[in-house]
Structure 1
Amino acid sequence: MSSKKRGKSEKTAVISHLGEKYLEGRFPDGIVTGSQITQAMAELGSKLSRNNPANFLKDLLRHNPEGNWPEELLEKRIYGRQVYGQGRVLQFFEAPEGVDPFAEDADLPDEIPVEKISSLPMDSLARSLGRTEETWLTQVVVNLGLIGQHLAVHSPDAETIKDLRFLQVGMKTQPEIDAVFVAEYALPDAPEVENVFVTVELKQRRERVLPDQIREQVRKAFEETAKIRDREICAVKPMAVNVIRKEFEGVEEDLILVREYGPVRRKDFDEKYARLIGEEAVYELPLFVVACSAYAVRPAIGALGARKTGGKRG
C-alpha cells in the first residue's frame, strides 16, 4: 500500500460514506449516481460543491487516487472507477489479489526512446503563447504530427501503415475523446486497405492516464463508427499522450510521451465486450501498451519548457 499521506481530499469522507453503503449492499452493482453523491454530501454536512457531481471523481482519479481513497476500502480491495451516462458517476468494484487499479504508469516499459522533434510547424508567436491545459497539448500534438511520427517509426505496425488522417479535436462523447484520426493499413497480399479508428487521450503533466477511460473511449469509437458501411472501420487503436518531466541530454525538461495500445478488432469487441453483453463487460477488455515514444521539442514551446540541471542542450 502506498506510503503517501491519505485523506487529503474532502471527497475522501464522501467516498467513505458511500463505500459503507456499498458494503452494506445498498449499491448491488456498485453504481453510484450524481444525486446519490449529492445526497451523501448533505448527510455529512459537506461544504463540497453540489453543482457538478458528474465530475466528482475526475480530479481525484487523475491526481493521487491511492492517497485520497479511504484506507478501509483499500484494505478490502474496494476501488472506484468513473462511469458515464444515465446520471452514473462512480462504480465501486473489488480488485483481484495482486492487481492495483490505482497503480501509476504500470504499463510503461523500462526504456522509452526519446527523440528531438521540430516545433517550427507552429510559428514563434504561437509557441510563446503556450498553456498547460489539454486543449493546448492537443494542438501541439496535432500540429507537430506526433501521432503520425510515432505510428510510422515506433509502432509494431509501422511497415504496413499507408495513410493517417486527422479528423477532429474534442469528440463530444461520454467520455470525451481528445483527438481522433483514421489510419489506413495495407492488408497482406491484397490491394485493399483496412481502416482503423485512432483515439487519443491527452493528459497534462502530473495527470494519470486512466485505463478504464481508454476502454470507454474504445466503446464509444465503435458506437460512433458502427453506421459506416462503404468504408468500414474494422478496428480501434487507442493511444494516450501526456507530459513527463525527465532528464534528456543533461537537461531536465518536459517531454511529450506517446503510448500506443494494441488494436481492438470490431468483431472481437462485439462478441465479448459490447453493451449487449453487459454494461461492465468493457472493463474486462485487455489493454496493453505495444509501443512508447517520447519527444523533446526544439525550439521550446511555452508550457513545455526546459530547466538546466547540468551539461549542454543538444
Structure 2
Amino acid sequence: MQGDMGWGSLTVLALAASGANALLRFSCSQLVVERLDPLVNPGLAPSPHLHQIVGGNAFNTTMDPSTPPPSLATCTTCTFADDFSNYWTAVLYFRSRNGSYIRVPQKPNVGFEQARGGMTIYYIPYIGSTKSSVTAFKPGFRMLIGSQSSRTREETSRFRQLTYTCLQNMLTRTGETLDMPKKPCPAGIMSNVRFPTCWDGKNLDSPDHMSHIAYPSSGTFESYGPCPSTHPVKIPQLFYEVIWDTTRFNSKDLWPEDGSQPFVWSQGDKTGFGNHGDYVFGWKDDALQKAMDSNCDRCPQLKSQSIAQGNQCTRPVQVHEQIDGWLDAIPGLTPGLEDQM
C-alpha cells in the first residue's frame, strides 16, 4: 500500500507541473474555521468538533441537497470561480507540556503562495496514458471519507489513502504514513485526503455518507483498479492536500518528555488515524464535467479568478467561541479528556 500511496502523490505533482494529463489542481483559501458540520451534524450549532472549511460562502449549519450551493453562494474562495463546492477537514492543534493547546496555522501549497491558508484541491479523471471517461459529481452529491473515531492503524487502513507527509521541503511528496509523523518535520506536515473513485450511480448520499461510493475492487485509482459491480460508475479522484505549519513547534524541548508527538486533531485524536474529509458538490452547471472531458490542466474554458479575489470571499462566523491563543481545552472537548471523541 505504501508504494501505491507514495507513487500516486508524486505522480499528480509531476502531472500538475507538466500539464500532461487531464488534471485540475487549484487553490481554495480558508473560508471559515468553526464548529459546524452540515453533513454529519446538520442543524447543530455548534457541532461536536472544529472544522476548517474552504469553497463557496453558502456553507451553513444545514445544507439542503435540493438547494445546490450555486443557487445560494455569492462567492467562492477557490480559483475556479464556478466552483461553489465546500471542502472541509478537522483542525490541528499543538498540545504543550503543560497541557494547554494552540491551533496550528495552515500555509499555502507550492504555486499558491498568495492563498490564505486553505487547501489544494485535485480532480483527476485518469492517471498516465490510459484515458477513461468519468462521470462528474451531480447536484446534491456529497460524501465523507475517514472516521473521526478511528484510533488504530487497522481502523484507518480500510480507507486506504488517508495519509501524512512529513515535509522535508515544500516539494516533498514521498514517505507517506498512515499515522501522524513522530518527529519534527522541517517544512511542516501535509495531510492527504483521497476519496473513493467509484459510485453506485444512483444515490447522491447515504446514511453514513460513504456507502454510495467505493474504492476500486482491487488495487488503487493510481494502479487502474476496476470499480466493483456494486459501484460501477467511475468518478474523478477528489484529493485534498492541507499543509499545517508545524515548524514553530519543531524544537524537541516543546515536545512531550516521553518523545511522543504533540499534535492533536480537533476531535481529540492524538494518533492521526482519525484523519477525515467532507465534501458537498457545488460546481455551476456542467463546468466540472466539461473539464473532465476536455483533457485540460488549467482548463481556460472555465471561469477563474485570482487568488487575491478568492481571499476576499467571506462568510460571517456563526459559532462564536475562542479557537485561537492558548486554550485549556480544544473547543468542544473537556479539559484533560482530549481523546473522548
Shorter-normalised TM-score: what interval? Answer: under 0.3
More strand by share: 1
Q: What TM-score results when the alignment is normalised by the length of structure 2?
A: 0.24
Q: What TM-score results when the alignment is normalised by the length of structure 1?
A: 0.25
Larger radius of gyration: 1
**Greater RCO structure (CA 8 Å; 6+ sep):** 2
